[in-house]
Structure 1
Amino acid sequence: MNQRFLSVMTLALLVILVAFPLVFIVLQAVFPQFSAGQFSGAFSGVQSLLSEPQLPTMLGGTLQVGLGVALVSALIGFPLGVARGLFNLPLPRLWDLLFLIPFLTPPYIAALSWMLVLQTNGYLQQLVGTNLNDLLFSQTGIVLVMALNIFPVIYFAVSRSLLASGQRLARIAQVHGASAGRAFWHVTLPMLSPSLAAGMLLSFTLAIEEYGVPAALGSRAGVLMLTTDIEKKLADWPIDLSGASMLSVVLVTIALSAWWLQKKLTGNHDVTSITGKPTENMGASAGVFTWPMVLVMALVGGIAVVLPGASMALSGVLGTLSGGVTLGNLTANHYAALFSQQGDALAALGTSLSLALGAACITGVLGLLAAWLVVVQKIKGRGLLDALSLMPAALPGVVVGVGLILLWNRPFWPISPYNSWAILLLSYCCLLLPWPVRYVGSALRQLGGNLEPAARVHGASALQALRFIVLPLVSPAMLAAMLMVFAIASRELVTSLLLAPAGTQTVSVFIWRQFEQGSVGQGMAMATLTLLTGLILMLTALGIMQRSTRG
């Protein structure tokens, strides 16, 4: 096995995972009878799409929710990130941990938790006699629920950018007569603009591809989005593959347009501060503003983390919701039922953990190979390899699900993963591949270009250098990315709903079905266990990354 074989194998796997599903979506969109093996009526589906009466409403709802979430996430995450990165606040790691929890909480679980708090006869009304039902079930409510789940993306992007770059240039500006505000506006803010733009872009794409929150709140709020209609076209009889494909192309176009706009606005480059040697960034003193900043961060943490988290945990130990929040209504029966032999929870948990482990291993190895071939070997055609490996970052989960259905639900395949657990594994690998590619690629760039050539000079082959030199050095970043893939894959919802074969449940499908059946207690008990598992895994990943940085 040589480098050429690895290059061909890696490209082939990326084509199967990423390119083929996209190609089949486009073919189905162009040829409405493609699923029946016919190439007639090219582009006739466009007229059907344009004549769909709900299309303007769906487009408007998707764009309004996406832009609203990006803006609200920036309004929350940017000042908190600036406070964390610029100033020496008390308990800095506590704030990072607190704002990590919304990222680990699946949006659909957050939405269901807020429903239990704010709806009519919810926990808020039981405790204080009022409810926010009308606010929750509205477009504003959907935006707020999603933003409270997504804003950590901007918080961590901004705070980490500040912690990495330090305030050397801003202090130089102040030495030369600039006020603190002027130095921030003309020096610090331009340096933060790429991180802020990237965070807002990610917030927008996460919002427009979200299915769980619009499905849970949108039907009662009268808000339509592309994701929910795509799922409806695939779930309701008669199945409309052509319509689902057309809407998928529209959704991908919106996501890719957002990526293009972000690159255009930031000039397609990053702003960096280069110093002669690494320095530790010591935050400035906030003076009299220290405790007001702490109070604001605590308030946001209480609203975004404590309230939905308490709702989730409380619902898992209440005998009945109608029984109210009383000591007599507390029970451990929901947790006992999860692990009883009569329930499906153990099977769902085992399926999710197995699939997540498989996805983590496959994406870890494939991400390492892709990043190594692009960054270190600089092979011919590396631009295509890099694009295919990072393309899933702009692909909504529902689009990946549609593409895999169109690709593998074909009679001409002698062996097909469709209608088996393998189709779920393929979907997770496609969606989460960018995590290892980005982490390992970043680690490889930090190694410099001298170690592998030195090994080659002393007689090592490219594969020996990869195995004995590169892999040990990037393994912490690779393992951290694999842990994140494991945590996210173990609770992925939309592709699981679309692709799970009959008789197979994952954790996310189990929780969703429990709510549909009215078994809120068991659903929230499972959600609590899922969140704790994800938090432990993410903290492990962060610990590995920090040890790697110190090393």
Structure 2
Amino acid sequence: MTIQIPNSTSKQRSSRALKMIFARHETEIYVGIIVVITLFVLILAPLLAVFLQAFAPHQQNAANGSTWFSDLFGIFERPLWRQSLFNSLQLSLFAAVIGGFIGTSLAILRYRIHFALSQLMDASAWLVLILPSFVIAQGWILFSSRAGIANQWLGLSFIPDMVFNPVGLAVVMSLKAFPLAYLAVSSGLRWRMEDLTNAARLSGASAGRVLWSVDLPLLLPAILSGCVLIFIDVIGDFGLPAALATTYRFPTLTYAIYVAINQSPIRFDLAGILAFYVTAILLFAVWLYFLILRRSRFDFLTARAKSALPKKSDKAFWANLYSGIILILAVGIPLGASLLISVSETMPGAQTDFALTLQHYRTILSDGNRFIDAFINSAIIAAWAACGSAVVAFFAAYVLTFSNFKLNRLIDLTCTLSLAVPGVVLGIGYIFIWNSPLFESLGLHLYGSPVLLGLAGAAGAIPVTIRILLGAFAQLPQNMLSAAALNGASFSRRVITIALPVVATALISATLAGFGSALFDLAINTILRPPRLSVLPVYVNRAFEMGDFGSSTAATFMAGGIAVVIIRFVDKVANLILKQCYPQPSGKD
């Protein structure tokens, strides 16, 4: 006799599993909605406010009979605006070409030839990339101006005319931005197909012909990425024009925006129109980049691809010489000039003999605590911005990686778009949003508050932090989270016990990277700083504008040194705590 056992237990398990799956997706949908709302407040709303300010009619327009259409195209009629637009485009295009060439050539040498300065080149590329542009620009001004080191101390009278012209400034900016191309092309050179190169050489092609007809076409996506990133970085840069304002008249769009909101009366409408042009140019550059890539296929790697290893060559001397010249121009001159001024008792052009001193460092430490207050204020704001950006980026990366949330493309697009938006434009958008009568009526008085600096700093750091975390989340198998959900683990339990241990190291790095970027953000701090709040980038830039070069450079090196110590200390402590919370397996059964 056969006894039929009811399968109600298996049905109950299946039903419970389905409920767990639905509950998991429901939670991720809620998290995705919160991420979208946060990104809208931090990034999308300010950008939309800039566009609306550029297109919406204004009371001033009605008074003088003009329209938003005439104001929008008035950039071609106003001499300063037209010159700013021309200067920005000229500077960015030249810097993209020059910086793209420098970065591409150095990357090819780095992964094709074994030479002594290759490791130093890697470290220097990251150093130049992290340094604020206004620090690099100030160093070049101290070296190249007519009252600078080159002309007064070294007798190189041709240097000022060679640097202070559109092409010379483009070279300076390309030396600041070339690491973007260097890193982009380096990523494309880590793997290579020897079959293609060998086939070309067997057909009689020389090494130069192989490089031109095989290697460079295959590297086109990486090369274009580097050039577009340099173009975006330069056209949205505020540090160079802010530093040049004391020495050389070279208006750009970003500096014209700053002038519009610092003149009397304040012209937010003009700032909105200029910010619209900056954003439109950046979006066009990104669109053109993707359009070019869609015209051809570049997926050439197969299972026969090999890791690229530099080989010994008789051209190592020329590789060392070329990379050494770039290192001197990109790092040695600007940082060396600033360091020399910071420890010099006399400025260039003085009639007294040169002498070393630490007086400038003593001065900034005993000037009524202004430097200390500025650094502490900036460090606190940067810390809040870094933590906020890390939290938002963590959950945004989680939703992008492990969910089918319908607005994932919007999240990804917003984080990518904010990478191309200059700090000046973002700051203007925050003024338009938080200075509006709507928030005043609701009692939200954030305009003129340090909180706004923290929000803007977090918005500026999100693109960097999310890219770091996306790479870490990609290493976590989704079936681990699915298995935990089927066994009844809640969303918070899965995040704390599975996701967080895997990406904890990347989360620490992302947070510290956000802290460093927010600490020295000149554009955001200049535009949104409350009148009575002293912050580090404004303190340094104002000392430079007033001609106190010794204090300005001393404050830069002092703040940079303290920041490095803080980052290293937090990194060590955080990793020790991480090891205590999530101990590694000993490897024994």
Same fold (TM over 0.5): yes
**Equivalences for residues 202-351 of structure 1 within 5 A:** 202-217=229-244, 221-267=248-294, 271=298, 281-285=308-312, 287-322=313-348, 329-340=355-366, 342-351=368-377
* C-alpha separation in 1, matches of 2:303 and 2:490: 34
Work out whether 1:398 is the aligned partner of 2:424. Answer: yes
CA contact under 8 A between 2:72 and 2:273: conserved in structure 1? yes
- CA deviation string 1:273-318 (max 9, x = no partner): 6565997542222x11012101111111112111111111111111
Deviating more after overlay: 447-456 vs 303-312: 447-456
Work out whether 1:159 is the aligned partner of 2:180. Answer: no
Q: Provide the residue aligned with 1:503 in structure 2.
A: 532
Q: Provide the residue aligned with 1:7 in structure 2.
A: 32
CA contact under 8 A between 2:139 and 2:335: conserved in structure 1? yes
Deviating more after overlay: 82-91 vs 350-359: 82-91
**Equivalences for residues 7-406 of structure 1 within 5 A:** 7-33=32-58, 43=69, 45-46=71-72, 48-131=74-157, 132-163=159-190, 165-170=191-196, 173=199, 177=203, 179=205, 180-217=207-244, 221-267=248-294, 271=298, 281-285=308-312, 287-322=313-348, 329-340=355-366, 342-406=368-432
* C-alpha separation in 2, matches of 1:542 and 1:349: 20
CA contact under 8 A between 1:318 and 1:325: conserved in structure 2? no
Describe the shift of the 1:323–1:121 C-alpha distance in structure 2 as closer, same or farther (beyond 3 A): closer
> What is the one-letter code of the residue matched to 1:55?
W
CA contact under 8 A between 2:246 and 2:545: conserved in structure 1? no
In the TM superposition, residue 113 of structure 1 has moved relative to its aligned partner by: 1.2
Whose radius of gyration is greater, 1 or 2? 2
* C-alpha separation in 2, matches of 1:271 and 1:467: 40
CA contact under 8 A between 1:72 and 1:147: conserved in structure 2? yes
Q: Provide the residue aligned with 1:548 in structure 2.
A: none
* C-alpha separation in 2, matches of 1:272 and 1:541: 41
Describe the shift of the 1:528–1:81 C-alpha distance in structure 2 as closer, same or farther (beyond 3 A): same
> What is the one-letter code of the residue matched to 1:238?
P
In the TM superposition, residue 115 of structure 1 has moved relative to its aligned partner by: 1.4
- CA deviation string 1:51-83 (max 9, x = no partner): 423333222111111101101101211111111
CA contact under 8 A between 2:145 and 2:247: conserved in structure 1? no
In the TM superposition, residue 319 of structure 1 has moved relative to its aligned partner by: 2.2
Work out whether 1:441 is the aligned partner of 2:466. Answer: no
The counterpart of 2:482, out of the listed 446, 453, 468, is 453
Deviating more after overlay: 320-329 vs 435-444: 320-329
CA contact under 8 A between 2:194 and 2:306: conserved in structure 1? no
CA contact under 8 A between 1:24 and 1:407: conserved in structure 2? yes
Deviating more after overlay: 358-367 vs 327-336: 327-336
> What is the one-letter code of the residue matched to 2:119?
R
Question: SS state of the match for residue 288, structure 1?
Answer: coil
> What is the one-letter code of the residue matched to 1:298?
G
CA contact under 8 A between 1:514 and 1:523: conserved in structure 2? yes
* C-alpha separation in 1, matches of 2:181 and 2:204: 27
- CA deviation string 1:365-413 (max 9, x = no partner): 1111111111211212211122122221121111111100011013324
- Report the aligned-residue RMSD: 3.3
Q: Provide the residue aligned with 2:549 in structure 1.
A: 520
**Equivalences for residues 471-510 of structure 1 within 5 A:** 471-510=500-539
* C-alpha separation in 2, matches of 1:119 and 1:351: 32
> What is the one-letter code of the residue matched to 1:461?
S
In structure 2, list runs of 5 or more residues that go unmatched: 1-25, 576-584
CA contact under 8 A between 2:50 and 2:429: conserved in structure 1? yes
Normalised TM-score (structure 1): 0.90
CA contact under 8 A between 2:114 and 2:310: conserved in structure 1? yes
In the TM superposition, residue 9 of structure 1 has moved relative to its aligned partner by: 1.4
Deviating more after overlay: 218-227 vs 98-107: 218-227
In structure 1, list runs of 5 or more residues that go unmatched: 546-550
Describe the shift of the 1:175–1:319 C-alpha distance in structure 2 as closer, same or farther (beyond 3 A): closer
Question: SS state of the match for residue 446, structure 2?
Answer: coil
* C-alpha separation in 2, matches of 1:380 and 1:473: 26
